[in-house]
Amino acid sequence: MKNINASITAVGSFLPEKILSNTDLEKIVDTNDEWITSRTGIKERRILDKGIGTSHMAIQAANAIIESKKLDPLEIDLVIVATITPDMHATATAAYVASEIGASNAFGFDISAACSGFLYGMSTASAFIESGRYKKIILIGADKMSSIVDYSDRNTCIIFGDGAGAVLLEPDYEGYGVQDEYLRSNGSNRNLLRIEAGGSQTPTTKESVEEKKHFIYQDGKNVFKHAVSNMSDASEQIMNRNNLTPLDVNYLVAHQANKRIIDATSNRMGIKDKKVLMNIHRYGNTTAATIPLLLFDFESKFKKGDNIIFASFGAGFTWGAMYLKWAYNH
C-alpha cells in the first residue's frame, strides 16, 4: 500500500474592505508611517466591521474554495478553524462554519495556538488525512485581531489586522504534500504576549474591563528576540533534517509578524529574497491567517513539486516549521 500524504489542493481567502493605513494611525496614536514601516514593514491592515465575528471571514474563505473547486460541501469530512478570536467562548467557531457552508457530514473544532495556529492545524489535519479515514478537510486560519487590540496602545495597534485564509487538504499517493514538521512550544514565557483577563484564571469583571485587561499585550523587545531565534532555528532544523540546501528550497512562506523577523529567518536559512514571500505591507499581522493568505496571494507562482517551507512563531510561546511539496499547477 502506498504512503498517504496530506496535500493542499486548493486555497481561498477573505479580507475585509476597510483599510487602516499608517497615516490613519498617525491620527490615533503617537506614531508615523516611517517609524512603523522601518520597524515592521507594515503599510496598512484590514479591519472587519463591528458586530461581525471571525466566523464571517472563515465562511467566506471556505466558500471561495468550494466555488473554485466545484466541491460538494457534503463531501467535506472535517473543518478546523485556527483562531484566538472565536465568535464566542465555549462553542467552536469551526462547528458554526461547517454548518454555514453546508458541510453537514463534517465535524468541526478550533485550534488555539495564536500565530502558529495554522501550522499546528496543518499538522493536525495531515494526521487525519494520513489515517486513511478522512479525504477532504478544510483548514482555516482566521482572526479578527481588531476585536482584541487597544487602539491607544501604539506597541500593538500598528501590528495587527483582520483576515482569513483557507486550504483544502486531500490524500496524495505520489509523494507530494506534507513531508516533515518541527513543532515546539514553551509556556514559561506566556506573560510576554497575552490577554490577561477573560479566562478562568482572571474572569471578566467590571474592573478588568476598566483596566483594559481584555486587550492583547506584548513585551515587544523580548517577543522579537524569541521570535527571531526560534523561528530561524525551526526553519534550519527542518532543512537539515531533510537534507535541503538553500538551492533546494523554492519558497519560504513565513508568518507575517514583522519584516525584520522574516529577514532574519531567511538569512539563517540562506534563502534569497526572491524566494521569500511577503504581503505584510498590505495586511499586517493577521495571526492565524498569515500563511494561508500568502498561499492565496502567490498561488500562481507555485509549481507542482516545489519545495516550500512554512515557518511561524506565536503567543504561548508556540513555533515551528513544516516542509511540503506543492501538489498542483495553478
Quick one: cell of 67?
466555488
3-state secondary structure of 54: helix
Pick the catalytic residue: 22, 63, 258, 285? 285
- Distance from CA of residue 90 to its chain's centroid? 22
Pick the catalytic residue: 115, 226, 230, 258? 115
Quick one: cell of 55?
466566523
Residue 276 is classified by DSSP as B
Q: How far apart are CA 221 and CA 285, in angstroms?
A: 17
Q: How far apart are CA 256 and CA 88, in angstroms?
A: 26
Q: How far apart are CA 94 and CA 96, in angstroms?
A: 5
115 is catalytic: yes
The residue length of the chain stands at 330
9 and 125 Cβ atoms separated by less than 8 Å: no
255 is catalytic: yes
> Helix 117-130 and helix 290-297: axis angle, to 10°?
80
In terms of Cα–Cα distance, which of 3, 322, 41 is closest to 167? 322
For residue 154, the one-letter residue type is R
Q: How far apart are CA 130 and CA 5, in angstroms?
A: 6
Pick the catalytic residue: 5, 63, 255, 258? 255
Cα dihedral sign, 238-240-241-244: positive
Give Cα separations from 115 to 98, 121, 249, 294, 317 (angstroms): 22, 11, 23, 14, 10
In terms of Cα–Cα distance, which of 84, 40, 61 is closest to 284? 40
157 is catalytic: no
User: 186 φ, ψ to 5°?
Assistant: -150, 105
Q: Active-site residue numbers?
A: 115, 255, 285
